[in-house]
């Protein structure tokens, strides 16, 4: 499981004083990118092989400005050309669950503009 800490910035909150729902998707994206980096994939556009097919987030409790969050990310399913990442966002101090999400990520060949079979080395990294 990969973990990323986020410090909620003022601009990520809304008039009601809690984290705006769109901000959660930014947190999940940041967690995905950091997870891919641990597998050896940088954000170099020429070497990037992932597209997001679907993403979902359920908001379970409120988060607030200046709160420290932990985004937990793990692989829950690996197919031939795609895989699913699951996420939990918790309060770092209390471990209270704030949100739960997932993403379907497709391995993609941008030159051919089509999905491709996940290479064995990546599959091995996803399985760890």
Distant-in-sequence, close-in-space partners of 75: CB < 8 Å, separation ≥ 6 = 83, 84, 85, 86, 126, 127
For 37-72, the pLDDT digits (tens) are 998 887 777 778 999 999 999 999 999 999 999 999
Is the model's pLDDT at 78 over the cut of 80?
yes
Domains of the chain: 2-126 (3.10.129.10)
> Residue 46: is it exposed, middle or buried by C-beta count within 10 angstroms (0-12/13-18/19+)?
exposed
Phi/psi for 56 (5° steps) reads -145, 145
pLDDT range class, residue 106, cuts 50, 70, 90: very high
């Amino acid at each position: 499981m990969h973990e990323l800490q986020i410090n909620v910035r003022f601009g990520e909150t809304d008039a009601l004083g809690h984290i705006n729902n769109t901000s959660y998707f930014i947190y999940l994206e940041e967690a995905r990118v950091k997870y891919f980096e641990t597998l050896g994939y940088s954000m170099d556009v020429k070497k990037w092989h992932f597209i997001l097919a679907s993403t979902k987030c359920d908001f379970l409790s409120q988060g607030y400005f200046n709160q420290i969050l932990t985004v937990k990310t793990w692989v829950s399913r690996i197919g031939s050309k795609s895989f699913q990442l699951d996420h939990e966002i918790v309060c770092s101090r209390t471990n209270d669950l704030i949100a739960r999400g997932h993403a379907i990520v497709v391995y993609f060949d941008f030159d051919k503009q089509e999905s491709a079979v996940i290479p064995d080395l990546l599959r091995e990294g996803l399985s760890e």
